Amino acid sequence: MKKMKKTGLITLILGILAVNFSFATNTEKVGVLILAHGGKHSSWDETVKNATEALKQNYIVEVAFGMANPTTLQDGIDKLESQGVTTIVVIPLFISSYSPIIRQNEYLFGIRNTLADPPMIMMHHGSENNTMKEEKGHSAIQGGHEHDSMPKDTLHSMSNVKKKMGLKSLNFKSEIILAKPLDAHPLVAEIIFDRISELSVNPKNETILIVAHGPNDEQDNKNWVKTIDNLADQIRTIQSEKGNKFKQIFGLTVRDDANPAIYEQAKEQLRTLVSQSGKDGDVIVIPLLLSQGGVEEGFLKRLEGLNYEWSGKTLLPHPNITKFIQISVEEALKTN
Amino acid sequence: MKTMKTIQLVTLVTLFIGLASCSNDDDNTTPLLEVESQNVSNLYAPQEGGQGQPISGQFTKFDFETGQTTTSETDWDIAFRGTSIIVNGGVSLGTTDEPERTGNAAAYITNGTMASITEVNTASLVQDAATGYAIPSGSGNGWYLYDSQAFLITPIAGKILVFKTRNGNYAKVEILSYYKDAPSNPDTTVDESRYFTFNYVYQPNESVTAF
């Protein structure tokens, strides 16, 4: 009888623990915050939003546009938390890990204690939130995508102004899990391969140029190029399994926002590669950009007068980006 | 109490000396020089002979450190004559007017872009030899293709020439054009040949193999 009582007590305690555990698990509510640069045209943003639609079946989703912009990021967090979210998986839909945007995100989300670069406070064109608001705890500054809208001297002086300004990390109660950008993910390689295949006629006679925006910093640029080379290796593998290999695949960056000397050098290197490759075969140029709506037009300007194949199609729209987000969220929650 | 204060003072002085000496150690580290990225236009590399006749003529020598051509017999890294590029290392192939190699230069050709070649593969470096140059001659063997219909020399896309200089520094070169003023579409009936335009990146820090 005594033994029975003891067993009953243990069962009761275990039961209470189980209920508590179950309660704790049920109260965890996952939200997903998608970060993306944003484009000049609203279609850029819409395409990104469309790619996140399928996710809404399983998670509460918000999209924050901008270049590590504390205002839009805070808005996104606030919207998720107001819906009871307790865990936020942040998915940076950016091409590369190697940029001040990503490092500033890490700071804003509390992954870094200090800023790794001078603070950037800028928006993309057409954003409805193009002014930083004091009430959000950040200094007021006008937005606008600087490299498109301002002379480079102005850009530098603005950068100095920003250096003197403080940038506080974001306010959040939730647990934040910051996932990785697109980088050389196999799903990205598949998209680029699809884009090439749409234009390819005779692979062994074709030189493929994968062209990305690229950063200003030299070391960052080396890492961007390495990442594109990694994608190129994956594409070679995919293609070799299908038979004919492409003649050559090169990855390069145009470094849109760099100083004029670097900008011109990058432009000449792109033109030289297209021109030289075109003397002995066909050239296919693929933009490594997230969405259509502005930057790729600059690529075309750089290539004026040269012969090459071009569809202008970017990573989006493509189902692989939705897959990438889903996989990133699942992996983030698993490793947490 | 006095002893305590003395100990504290000695500790502070020791800490200060320790920190000061650390600072001196840091100051002794020589900062690395910045990697230099340059463009050379219209480096003229004439030759005589060819087309079945013995090739001759002075090579146009180039020094990466100064970024200039030179007539020095010793202070040069690479030299050009027609489509031939030689290095100041190894031995002569024995052609007429070929300069004596006095340095330790070497070279190899690799595939990539100027941005993607970030490290020298020292195992691939070779010097000029009696059997051939480090940068191979001939259409499709090295840096160019020859179109026998249009008589046109075209640099091969994605060929980067990596050099060890005579003094043990490194440079990478991308040849852009073989014609005067680097026209986009050279016409051999109009455009003068044997004028090299190239980009190069020079690593001024001795033995540093990264660009």
What is chain B's pLDDT, residue by residue, as a tens digit (211 residues)?
Answer: 444 444 454 454 444 444 444 444 455 567 888 887 899 999 999 999 887 888 999 999 999 999 999 999 999 999 999 999 999 999 999 999 999 999 999 999 999 999 999 999 999 999 999 999 999 999 999 999 999 999 999 999 999 999 999 999 999 999 999 999 999 889 999 999 999 999 999 999 998 999 9
B145 has a chain A CB within 8 A of its CB: yes
User: If you search the block for the tokens 């819409």, which residue do you land on?
Assistant: A46
H or E element, residue B6? helix B2-27
**pLDDT at residue number A336:** 75
B121 has a chain A CB within 8 A of its CB: no
Query: Which residues of chain A does CATH 3.40.50.1400 include?
Result: 26-182+320-335
Nearest to A277 by CA among A210, A326, A332: A210
**Complete edge-to-edge strand list for the sheet that includes strand A175-178:** A60-65, A30-36, A87-92, A175-178
Q: Do B116 and A251 touch (CB under 8 A)?
A: yes
ipTM value, please give it.
Answer: 0.74
The helix-helix angle for A260-279 and A295-302 (nearest 10°) equals 60
Residues of B in contact with A212 (CB under 8 A): none
Query: Which CATH number among 3.40.1350, 3.40.50, 1.10.3430, 1.10.150 corresponds to the domain A186-314?
Result: 3.40.50
Q: Which residues of chain A have pLDDT under 70?
A: 1-27, 121-165
Residues of A in contact with B199 (CB under 8 A): 265, 268-269
| Residue A105 near residue A92 (C-beta atoms within 8 A) | yes
Question: What amino acid is encoded at B89 in this protein?
Answer: G
B66 has a chain A CB within 8 A of its CB: no
- Cα distance between residue A204 and residue A249, in whole Å: 11
Q: Do B156 and A273 touch (CB under 8 A)?
A: no
| Residue A84 near residue A101 (C-beta atoms within 8 A) | no
**pLDDT at residue number A335:** 85
Q: Do B115 and A253 touch (CB under 8 A)?
A: yes
The dihedral sign for the CA sequence A268, A271, A277, A283: positive
Q: Do A280 and B155 touch (CB under 8 A)?
A: no
| Residue B172 near residue B160 (C-beta atoms within 8 A) | yes
* B112 min Cα distance to partner chain A (Å): 7
Q: Do A248 and B174 touch (CB under 8 A)?
A: no
Residues of A in contact with B112 (CB under 8 A): 229, 250
**pLDDT at residue number A14:** 53
**pLDDT at residue number B36:** 79
Q: Do A277 and B112 touch (CB under 8 A)?
A: no
Q: Do B113 and A225 touch (CB under 8 A)?
A: yes
User: If you search the block for the tokens 């044997």, which residue do you land on?
Assistant: B194
Three-state DSSP class for residue B158? coil
- Cα distance between residue B196 and residue B188, in whole Å: 15
**pLDDT at residue number A9:** 59
| Residue A98 near residue A92 (C-beta atoms within 8 A) | no
**pLDDT at residue number A167:** 87
Nearest to B154 by CA among B180, B181, B176: B176
* B117 min Cα distance to partner chain A (Å): 9
H or E element, residue B81? strand B78-81
Residues of A in contact with B155 (CB under 8 A): 276
**pLDDT at residue number A6:** 60
Secondary structure letter of residue A304 according to DSSP: T
Q: Where are the domains of chain B?
A: 1-30, 33-203
- CATH number belonging to domain A26-182+320-335: 3.40.50.1400
Q: Do A275 and B156 touch (CB under 8 A)?
A: no
Size of interface A-B (CB pairs under 8 A): 61
Q: What is the pTM of this model?
A: 0.79
| Residue B148 near residue B162 (C-beta atoms within 8 A) | no
**pLDDT at residue number B188:** 94
- Cα distance between residue A227 and residue A94, in whole Å: 13
